[in-house]
């Protein structure tokens, strides 16, 4: 059974029919937003059953659309938190990515701006590495991008998409070491992205991120995970009631190959490790439970089949 990421949008009336259906079909609801009279579900559903969901939700005026970024966590790396980079373009891009279903975090560097003075410290590096992919928002000058990229990419292990002012060909030529994705013509600007050509650029960024993540998904599929992160999310929600008290918008953030649990590591890590998934197999058997560099959260890294010899 192949699960595909989709977004369901519909009225709040009787939306539990859809939620129950998704769960009965073996799918998972990753995020649920209730906005006034509307409900938005970001979920994984079996590919063959999408038509069935469409049919059943038709009387409720529900709409099912593909959302390739559901279940991913993306770092939008901004060079600083100054007026030069915020709210445009950093927030515009972070927000646009969020609309397509991803969970985006903005990572702002302490010494990001400049050419000679730019740097990346170990905390920033580790936080970026905790994500599925990183989108680097660079400036307008190729001299600066060429000079600082090797420093900003030092120690980064996740796929990177670089956005910058020069065109795509120039970016491919100057960025060293090479990265997975490039989007040209999106450097520093100080106006809201609302015109058609600017929105096209945002779509181009989404397309590039999607391409990079699809490749990562394919790599994971070659050596499948011992347990699906979306399934783990539901299990943790059932077995660890403390997660229901967390006020963060996404207390459990699903990633491609793991899960961020927004509970203190020291208190809850032993409980999570001992949590039984099925037939006596505990979470500690199939995943590495590590402290996150982001606050004192817990990072659950699901191990692949080749390491655990189990798939549940």
Partner 1 sequence: MLAVEYFEVECPEPVGAEYYKQITNDVLLDHNLLKVIEKLHIYIDPKVPVFIAVGILKPITNVVRVGDIANVNPLEGKMTLVITEETYLASMLKIFWERFGKDRVEQPDRFTVVLYNVPVAAKEIEEIVIGHPSESLNRDLIYAFRCVAPEGFRLRSERFEKGKFSFVASENTLVENIDELVKAKFALMGETP
Contact residues: partner 1, CB under 8 A: 79-80, 82-85, 113-118, 139-144, 165-167, 187-191
DSSP three-state, residue 116: coil
Q: Which is nearer to partner 1, 164 or 251 (CB)?
A: 164
- Contact between residue 42 and residue 67 where contact means Cβ atoms under 8 Å apart: yes
Nearer to partner 1, 74 or 183 (CB): 183
Q: CB of residue 139 vs partner 1: minimum separation in angstroms?
A: 7
Whole-angstrom Cα distance, residue 91 to residue 2? 33
Q: What dihedral angle (degrees, nearest 10) is formed by the CA atoms of 271, 29, 103, 268?
A: -10
Taking the least distance from each CB to partner 1, the nearer of 83 and 196 is 83
Smallest separation (angstroms) from partner 1 to the CB of 140? 4
The DSSP code for 48 is G
Nearer to partner 1, 140 or 292 (CB): 140
CB 78, min distance to partner 1, A: 11
Nearer to partner 1, 26 or 87 (CB): 87
Strands (E), 247-302: 252-254, 258-261, 276-278, 281-282, 287-291, 298-302
CA distances in angstroms from 15 to 12, 142, 245, 258, listed in the order given = 5, 50, 24, 28
For partner 1, the closer CB: 82 or 276? 82
Rounded least distance, CB 19 to partner 1, Å: 45
Q: Give the N- to C-terminal CA distance of the chain in Å, as an integer.
A: 13
Complex with partner 1: residue 49 or 142, whichever CB lies closer = 142
Closest CB 80 distance from partner 1, rounded Å: 6
Question: Minimum Å distance from CB 136 to partner 1?
Answer: 15
Contact (Cβ atoms closer than 8 angstroms) between residue 108 and residue 141: no
The two structure tokens encoding residue 179: 């990265």
The C-alpha atoms of residue 228 and residue 205 are separated, in whole angstroms, by: 27
Category of 304 on φ-ψ map: left (φ > 0), alpha (ψ -120 to 50) or beta: beta
Q: How far is the CB of 137 from partner 1 (least distance, A)?
A: 12
């Amino acid at each position: 059974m192949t699960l595909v990421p989709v977004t369901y949008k519909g009225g709040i009336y009787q939306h539990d029919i859809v939620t129950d259906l998704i769960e009965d079909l073996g799918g998972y609801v990753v995020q649920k937003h209730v906005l006034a009279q509307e409900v938005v579900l970001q979920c994984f559903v079996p590919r063959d059953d999408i038509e069935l969901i469409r049919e059943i939700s038709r009387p409720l005026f529900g709409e099912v659309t593909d959302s390739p970024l559901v279940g991913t966590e993306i770092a939008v790396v901004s060079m600083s938190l100054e007026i030069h980079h915020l709210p445009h373009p950093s927030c515009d891009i972070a927000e646009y990515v969020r609309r397509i279903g991803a969970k985006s975090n903005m990572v702002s560097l302490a010494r990001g701006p400049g050419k000679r003075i730019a740097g990346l410290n170990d905390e920033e590096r580790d936080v970026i590495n905790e994500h599925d992919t990183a989108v680097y928002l660079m400036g307008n000058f190729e001299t600066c991008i060429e000079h600082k990229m090797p420093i900003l990419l030092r120690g980064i292990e996740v796929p990177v998409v670089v956005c910058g002012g020069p065109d795509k060909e120039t970016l491919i030529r100057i960025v060293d070491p090479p990265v997975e994705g490039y989007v040209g013509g999106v450097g520093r600007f100080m106006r809201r992205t609302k015109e058609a050509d600017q929105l096209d650029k945002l779509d181009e960024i989404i397309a590039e991120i999607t391409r990079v993540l699809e490749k990562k998904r394919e790599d994971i599929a070659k050596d499948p995970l011992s347990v699906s992160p979306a399934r783990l999310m539901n299990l943790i929600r059932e077995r660890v009631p403390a997660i229901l008290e967390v006020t963060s918008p996404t207390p459990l953030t699903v990633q491609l190959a793991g899960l961020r649990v927004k509970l203190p590591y020291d208190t809850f890590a032993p409980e999570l490790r001992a949590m039984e998934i099925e037939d006596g197999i505990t979470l500690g058997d199939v995943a590495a439970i590590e402290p996150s560099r982001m606050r004192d959260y817990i990072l659950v890294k699901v191990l692949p089949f080749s390491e655990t010899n189990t798939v549940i």
